[in-house]
Amino acid sequence: MNEHGSWWFGAFELDSVDRRLTRYGAVISLPPKAFDILTVLVKNAGHLVTRDDLFQTVWGGIAVQDANLTNNVTALRRVLGRTAITSVPRHGYRFCLPVSKSAGLSEQGLQIFSRAQNLLLRRSTEFVLQSRDLLWLVIGYEPQFAPAWAWLGRACRFLEKFGVDRDYHRKLVDVAFQRAFAIDPGLACAHQFFTAIQVDRGGALSALHRLLPIVEGKHTDAHFFAALVQVCRFCGLLEASVKAHERARDLDPNIATSVPHTYFARCEYEAVIESYLVSGGGTGIYLDLCAWACLGLTRRAETEALNRLNIRELPPVLGRCSNPWCKLYKAMPRT
């Protein structure tokens, strides 16, 4: 790998020039030595990096205690997942996540891409449209940057699903993912995003057949297991869905999955309430309320629903949606 630049692994981007680690564009603070260790490991992804090499590169050969290295590696595992970095006893460490270079994308392009990711995660029509336009701009900078095509497909699916120029965005969804897979057939985020679309279109079994050979091949990217959470649930494999969630969280402690819906299908309503807002990044609308009602606490569910309507505007994307559940949400009385 080149000495300087940006590398992608899962939801993370490592920028060795600006000394910055981000996840979906959000900066993650790391101790300076932990960042240096991560940079060395990522540049040599898949290969053993000896302890002596790390001491020489990171500490310049200055004598330090082994605990300094061990503690920094432990800190990195807490951020990246415990299986991202494996130990080779008495020798060193190996970075195990699939790593890709930034495909020549400029610093300006990377900044635009990070902003597009953040906007899309805010899940409103206005922000998703802005995200879509920024992703087109990124692709204009570098047409071979597969993650931008995958995120474009995700944005267009969101707009299609909620009735924003539906036919146009449906066509763009298919084109974007075809392009993403043509550039990088193993792109994990593309597999996760496309899985949700495939399931919505009635292709859960096809998605399962696509994903199983990948994860059986000891693939260590959390996105594949996050995709399996949804696929297994739609195939009636509820226990496997929960196990896929646990594996995804082992690999990336911060990844969001649809496991609250699996808990709901298993009638584990307390688990739904505990996990829903966490998995949804605090943007939950309804599922925890349904769980409260199923527990017999309908008054609490009603009160919380009214509180949510009173403290924030109706999510713009719901304002365009013809789904009967969205109509019910809009019709709920406000105090």
* Mean per-residue pLDDT, 257-264: 94
**Residue 271 shares a structural domain with residue 203:** yes
Per-residue pLDDT at 1? 39
- Distance, in Å, from the CA atom of 90 to the CA atom of 82, rounded to the nearest integer, reads 19
Averaged pLDDT of the chain: 83
Flag whether 239 is in a domain.
yes
Phi-psi region of 32 (alpha: psi -120 to 50; beta: other; left: phi over 0): alpha
The pLDDT value recorded for residue 25 is: 64
φ and ψ at residue 306, rounded to 5 degrees: -65, -40
pLDDT of 60 > 60? The answer is yes
Q: What is the pLDDT of residue 324?
A: 47
pLDDT at 323 over 50: no
62-71, 193-202, 218-227, 308-317: lowest mean pLDDT where? 308-317
Domain end among 185, 205, 223:
185
Whole-angstrom distance, CA of residue 292 vs CA of residue 302: 9
For residues 8 and 150, is the Cβ–Cβ distance under 8 A? Answer: no
Which residues, including other chains, have CB under 8 Å from residue 261's CB and lie 6 or more apart? 230, 233, 287
Q: Are residues 89 and 175 in the same domain?
A: no
In the numeric block, the tokens 């953040």 are attached to: 118
The domain tally of the chain equals 4
User: Residue 1: inside a domain, yes or no?
Assistant: no
CATH of the domain at 252: 1.25.40.10
- The pLDDT-based confidence of 83 (bands split at 50, 70, 90) is confident
Six token digits for residue 62: 């200055």
Q: What is the pLDDT of residue 129?
A: 94
The predicted-structure confidence for 96-140, as pLDDT tens digits, reads as follows 887 876 555 677 787 788 889 888 877 788 899 999 999 999 998
Domain boundary among 78, 101, 124: 101
Same-domain pairing of 92 and 135: no
Residue 192 backbone zone (phi > 0: left; psi -120 to 50: alpha; other: beta): alpha
The CATH number of whichever domain residue 82 belongs to comes to: 1.10.10.10
Same domain, 95 and 17: yes
Range(s) of the domain holding residue 297: 285-335
* pLDDT greater than 90 at residue 232: yes
Q: Which residues, 6+ apart, have CB-to-CB distance to 122 below 8 Å?
A: 128
- Residue where a domain terminates, one of 82, 101, 120: 101
The predicted-structure confidence for 9-38, as pLDDT tens digits, reads as follows: 877 888 876 788 887 667 788 888 999 999
| Same domain, yes or no: 14 and 69 | yes
Q: What is the mean pLDDT of residues 41-47?
A: 88
Domain annotation covers residue 114: yes
Q: Is 84 strand, coil or helix?
A: coil
In a domain, 22, yes or no: yes
Helix (H) or strand (E) holding 293: helix 287-294
**Among positive and negative, which fits the CA dihedral 115, 97, 18, 149?**
negative
